[in-house]
Chains A and B, each alone.
Chain A
Amino acid sequence: MAVVVLPRSLTVLFPGAERRVEAEGRTVTQLIDVLDRRWPGVRDRLCQRSDALREFINVYVDGQPADLATPVAPGSVVHILPAVAGG
């Protein structure tokens, strides 16, 4: 199991979504698929294409920058963060 930490601005879009979620997956994309099954539409909000995150969505696995293909180990902490942007 990995721990996925979600931003407030994402969880408010999906009633019942929690900020810290335990999920099983060997890559970031598999974790996002798990989230999408729990809260349909999450993948659309995070991914621009089937193989790419949206431009201003950043993912870190155990503190290191990651993409959809990045491996995730049991016990990993995965942060999904909106980039600092806007006005």
Chain B
Amino acid sequence: MTRQLLVLIGTRKGAFILSGSPAGRDDAAGWRLSGPLCEGWPINHFRHDPASGALLAGGGSPWYGAAVWRSDDLGTSWTHSSQGMTYGDDGPAMRSVWHVEPVGDVLYAGVEPAGLFKSIDGGATWAHVEGLTNHPSRPSWQPGNGGLICHTVFAHPSDANRMWVAISAVGCFATEDGGRTWEARNQGVRVDGLPDPYPETGQCVHKMVAAAGQPDRLYQQNHCGTYRSDDAGRTWICLDEGLPSTFGFPIVAHPSDPDTVFTIPLNGDDRGRYVPEAKLAVWRTTDQGSHWSSLREGLPSSDAFVGVLRESMARDDLQPFGLYFGTSTGQLFASADEGGSWRRMADLLPPITSVETALVDA
């Protein structure tokens, strides 16, 4: 069976699919772009569910509200639903979906205003995971610049009762009982600009991932630094030394090496939020964050006034694995050699909010 590699791109103006042969990752000319999908809605996360084969897109229309879109034919036809995705008539209005996470047969959606919803019917209907919203810290939750958003959701690979979420600007939470109760896990994560820089919650986590093969090792890129936890998020170690700034959005784990992650630092929250010195680079550590080095070959080395948002970097599962990232000004870059060299795959897309990959039957 021939396989096809899909790069799934969420943007402020719809979803797009870049498709090509896995063997042709080196050749940008061999790829085909389709879209815009999802009727041009702002899409915050666009992904593949390997279990069902569905494409799932989470977003929100300024007119028609939040929804999770689903395609079971690789993007040809779509359904959408937000049935049940509500805090009730007395609660805040639902604005958007920021992350969709399949966990076995269950779909989870992280939403704005921050909360978690669950679907057991493939996204047709949704139920509020009230335990997170009922956390005692909820009255103190404050939005980040992008809103009060639950943008990261993932489960332990062998115990679906153990899950983590990340909320801006609130922090990391974990459950050990399938979502009934949640614990804030932010010890050691700094909040610049607060009288107490290490509160229980209030951290502006931008993205969080689990390390390959070590699910209790987490990495996070924060508004105020880059961090690693070796105890499932209970305590965090700052990894800033060696990075060009403390500010950035995405962080991506290596597929098999728990000591290796990739991030794209930006120059700072009050300096324009583009890459340092306008030189585009992906930064990698191979020793748990003790040392960092930049990967730049093929990336613009000057005048790159671009940013990369939280969901906008991904890898594939080929060997060697590929890395991909999209900018907030619509360029998509790809590496077929684990970040060693890069090429531009698309240049004129709307602002990119999400990049994921999928390997499917052609």
Is A41 a contact partner of B81 (Cβ separation < 8 A)? yes
Give which listed residue, A13, A49, A50, A86, contacts B64 with CB less than 8 A. A13
Is B353 part of the binding interface, using a Cβ–Cβ cutoff of 8 Å? no
Give, as a whole number of angstroms, the nearest-CB distance from B76 to chain A. 12
CB-CB under 8 A from B64, the residues of chain A are 9-10, 13, 45-46, 54, 57, 82
| CB under 8 Å from chain B, chain A span 42-87 | 44-46, 48-51, 54-57, 82-83, 85-86
CB-CB under 8 A from A41, the residues of chain B are 80-81, 83
Is B195 part of the binding interface, using a Cβ–Cβ cutoff of 8 Å? no
Is B93 a contact partner of A48 (Cβ separation < 8 A)? yes
Give, as a whole number of angstroms, the nearest-CB distance from A72 to chain B. 22
CB-CB under 8 A from B80, the residues of chain A are 13, 41
Interface centre among B62, B67, B83 (most CB of A within 10 A): B62
Is B65 a contact partner of A54 (Cβ separation < 8 A)? yes
Is B89 part of the binding interface, using a Cβ–Cβ cutoff of 8 Å? yes
- 10 contacts across the A-B interface (CB closer than 8 A): A10-B64, A41-B81, A41-B83, A44-B83, A45-B64, A48-B93, A50-B89, A54-B63, A57-B63, A83-B63
CB-CB under 8 A from A10, the residues of chain B are 64
Give, as a whole number of angstroms, the nearest-CB distance from B59 to chain A. 13
CB-CB under 8 A from A49, the residues of chain B are 86, 89, 93
Is B82 part of the binding interface, using a Cβ–Cβ cutoff of 8 Å? yes
Give, as a whole number of angstroms, the nearest-CB distance from A57 to chain B. 6
Is B39 part of the binding interface, using a Cβ–Cβ cutoff of 8 Å? yes
Number of B interface residues at 8 Å Cβ cutoff, please give it: 13
CB-CB under 8 A from B81, the residues of chain A are 41, 44
Given contacts A12-B39, A44-B83, A50-B89, contact A85 B62 (CB under 8 A): yes
Is B65 a contact partner of A44 (Cβ separation < 8 A)? yes
Number of A interface residues at 8 Å Cβ cutoff, please give it: 20
Q: In the bound complex, what is the Cα–Cα distance between A31 and B77 (angstroms)? A: 28
CB-CB under 8 A from A45, the residues of chain B are 64-65
Q: In the bound complex, what is the Cα–Cα distance between A48 and B93 (angstroms)? A: 6
CB-CB under 8 A from A85, the residues of chain B are 62-63
Give, as a whole number of angstroms, the nearest-CB distance from B7 to chain A. 25
Q: In the bound complex, what is the Cα–Cα distance between A56 and B89 (angstroms)? A: 17
Give, as a whole number of angstroms, the nearest-CB distance from A46 to chain B. 8
Given contacts A10-B64, A86-B62, contact A55 B93 (CB under 8 A): yes
Q: What mask results when residues 47 to 80 of chain B are scored 1 for a CB within 8 Å of chain A, else 0? A: 0000000000000001111010000000000001
With A13-B39, A41-B80 given, can you name 10 additional A-B contacts, CB distance below 8 Å? Answer: A10-B64, A44-B83, A49-B86, A49-B89, A50-B89, A55-B93, A57-B63, A57-B64, A82-B64, A85-B62
Given contacts A50-B89, A51-B89, A55-B93, contact A9 B63 (CB under 8 A): yes
Q: In the bound complex, what is the Cα–Cα distance between A9 and B63 (angstroms)? A: 9
CB-CB under 8 A from B93, the residues of chain A are 48-49, 54-55
Give, as a whole number of angstroms, the nearest-CB distance from A19 to chain B. 15
Q: In the bound complex, what is the Cα–Cα distance between A13 and B64 (angstroms)? A: 10
Is A56 a contact partner of B39 (Cβ separation < 8 A)? no
CB-CB under 8 A from B65, the residues of chain A are 44-45, 48, 54
Q: In the bound complex, what is the Cα–Cα distance between A9 and B62 (angstroms)? A: 12
Q: In the bound complex, what is the Cα–Cα distance between A49 and B62 (angstroms)? A: 15
Chain B's closest residue to A55 (CB) is: B93
Given contacts A49-B89, A50-B89, A51-B89, contact A56 B62 (CB under 8 A): yes
Chain B's closest residue to A48 (CB) is: B93
